[in-house]
A and B are shown apart, each in its own frame.
Chain A
Amino acid sequence: MFLAVFTYYPILTSAELSLYRATATVRSHTFIGAGNYLTLAADPVFHQVLRNSLEFLAGTVPVTVALALVLALAVNRPHLLVTPFRTAFFYPALLPLIGAAAIWLFVYTPGYGLMDVYLRKLGGGSVNWLQDPTWALPAVMLVSVWKNAGYYMLFYLAGLQTISAELYEAARIEGAGAWHTFRSITFPLLGPTTLFVLVIASINAFQSVDQIWIMTAGGPDNTTNVLLFYIYQMAFMFFDLGKAAALTVFLLAVLMGIAALSFGLLERRIHYEV
């Protein structure tokens, strides 16, 4: 029986690992060494894709995480309305990204889409959000913020529960104001949560491209093309498997980098719980 567990398990593990290694075998059709990487390094689209990915990361992660914290603080109190509020913020996390994107496609429709209609009421002008090179990426990013903020909010709520009420009591007696209390008690004690959410959000930022597929298909002019979408395009629309494999290796390196950065601290968290 022990044997069964022992053998069964490594087989699964290696099956899983073999999926990773398959990256290398793709290129072996004709060996061109670093050829694909050199082509990529000289590829202006790749440069743009990198810039877009970084912009997506820098534009969504801090905003979403900060918003998640604000939402968590806002709904962390006993009140009848707290449950419906939490539900309202959290539900987008359960929707398929592709379904959410179908709705947002309409939000951004020029002329009579929700965004234009309501902006017009506020006196704003009409923008063709998804076709405008300046606005397309922010428009796609907004969907991601809307979808994930409520999800990360849950982690902050869980984190808030672990802070002892005595600390707040002490702060109150000392006469600390709300901002001061937040800065010297709440925020520092939520440190591990913030770190954890930042890691999750960063990894998600590189891996959520469903909305791009349906909303912009990477356009206009590659302004919303990000790494994973470029892999998809390269492999399944341009059928350049070698280049796509090189891109995959690059993406994996980025993810591993994020993982390595956070690993030590996450490990420590794990030990706390044992």
Chain B
Amino acid sequence: MRSSVTRRAGRGLRTAAWALSVGALAFVWLFPLLWAVATSFRPPGSLGSQIASLWVQHPSLANFREAWSEAPFVRLYYNTAVVVFGILGAQLVTITLGAYAFARLEFPGRDLLFRLFLLQLMVAPSSLILPNFVTIKTLGLLNTRLGIMIPYFASAFGTFLLRQAFRGVPRDLEDAAAIDGCGTFQTLWHVFVPLARPTLIAFSIVSVVYHYNEFLWPLIITDTDRARTVTVGLASFTQSAESAAQWNLIAAGTVIVILPLLVLFILFQRRFVESFMYSGLKG
């Protein structure tokens, strides 16, 4: 009897130690974000020693107002939205067709082609900035949103994920669809796509996050605000504010840029975590 009490006490103590140590580490991990949020609400110009703390004495929205007026955020957001969803739309079409071809169609060289595709998983387009830049320039698409999007229209990663999902579709369902008079595309649309929905959602989330955050590529393709995305806007904004040590302003700009994804993440936490987990499991 007594031993069970001590054992329970011991376990409680160990849980408390666990919560404290992991909690402390989690706090360290969160600190940069918490600091950025706190600082963005501090009145402009208040530097001094309190800038490193998380406490805000007189919260104000002045930084957000100033940041908002100093960079064309509406334009930047619009560009990012077009780019992100444009890429996603094109990708969903190409990976569906591609994955179907690799999963179900027999054609010479299929396996070799698939291996070539897998190779692209290893070589993210960011290492190909130069050749891709030359291609976009030749196409006359510099400074356009389309120029930012084109290299991503096909996705080896997505094709691969979806191929795995399509291979799990029972042949019987396909045959049933064929008997009902469905053509290839109808079968694809009515049988394969609905069954692969979790994969498609996971891929979409990963794709949106990736392209929202992309920086180097849109930076190279654009040299005016016309097609610039939020990350590029934030970078030039930060550079000019850094030289003036306007940290409150930088914090506000950063919060404006990271907010959309962060809000989505908080709302659909499980979905996000599952999607990213899934992308690794299958990748």
Residues of A within 8 A of B (CB): 1-2, 5-6, 8-9, 12-13, 15-23, 25-26, 71, 74-75, 79, 81, 83-100, 102-107, 109, 112-114, 117-118, 146, 150-151, 154-155, 157-158, 196-197, 200, 203, 206-207, 209-210, 213-214, 228, 231-232, 235-236, 241, 244-245, 248, 251-252, 255-256, 258-259, 263, 270, 273-274
Contacts and interface: CB of A to CB of B under 8 A. Distances in A.
Nearest to A8: B97
Contact of B127 (A6, A214, A251, A263): A251
B33 A9 contact: no
Interface string B173-192: 00000000001110000000
A18 B258 CA distance: 34
Contacts of B15: 79
Contacts of A146: 29, 32
* Dominant secondary structure at the B interface: helix
Interface residues of B, number: 91
Contacts of A94: 209, 213, 261-262, 265, 272
Interface of B: 15, 18-19, 22-23, 25-27, 29-33, 35-36, 39, 47-49, 51-52, 94, 97-98, 100-101, 105, 107, 113, 116-120, 122-135, 151, 153-154, 164, 167, 183-185, 209, 212-216, 219-220, 230-231, 234-235, 238-239, 242, 245, 247, 250-251, 253-254, 257-258, 261-262, 265, 269, 272-273, 276-277, 280-283
Nearest to B133: A235
A245 B130 contact: yes
B239 to A, nearest CB: 7
Given A75-B22, A94-B262, 11 more contacts: A20-B123, A26-B131, A74-B18, A94-B213, A104-B32, A106-B247, A114-B31, A114-B32, A117-B52, A245-B131, A270-B164
A248 B130 CA distance: 8
A6 B126 contact: no
A26 B213 contact: no
B131 A22 contact: yes
A86 B276 CA distance: 13
What are the 10 A-B residue pairs with the smallest beta carbon separation, nearest first? A22-B131, A259-B122, A88-B26, A96-B213, A117-B52, A1-B184, A155-B280, A210-B215, A98-B215, A23-B131
A13 B51 CA distance: 52
B127 A207 contact: yes
A256 B123 contact: yes
B257 A99 contact: yes
